[in-house]
Amino acid sequence: MASVPNDPADETDRIIELEEEVDQLKEAVVSHAVVDQAIGMVVALGRVAPDAGWDVLKDVSQHTNIKLRRVAELIITWGRGGKMPPEISVELEEALERHGPTQIPESAEE
């Protein structure tokens, strides 16, 4: 049985679908990087474990009704010398109190 050539309209639709999927994947990668950077800042500055850093971001997002990625962006901007909205600052402080700080062992004396 001979194969029927694809309809050009079908191919165009498929290309558009694939381009949209690629755009979504690119956005997801960028979003993931932003969240990872913010977790790193929370871990370093709040002296919490990485898992707790994620929980802190989630808590701030949930308690302020701001998307987690946006909270992450605001924390990164603040870390670069910017300002943090007061509602984020207050909630970040409270979330850090709930989740940390992790005790840092004293260095052994020689």
Please list, in sequence order, all residues whose beta carbon lies within 8 angstroms of the beta carbon of residue 96, skipping any fewer than 6 positions away: 42, 46, 48, 56
pLDDT digits (tens, 9 = 90+) for 26-46: 787 777 899 999 999 999 988
Report which of 99, 105, 19, 1 is spatially closest to residue 51, judged by C-alpha positions.
99
| pLDDT above 90 for 15 | no
pTM: 0.68
Neighbours of 82 (CB within 10 A): 10
Report which of 37, 68, 56 is spatially closest to residue 100, judged by C-alpha positions.
56
pLDDT score, position 82: 82
Please give the share of the chain, as a percent, with pLDDT higher than 90.
Answer: 41
pLDDT score, position 105: 46
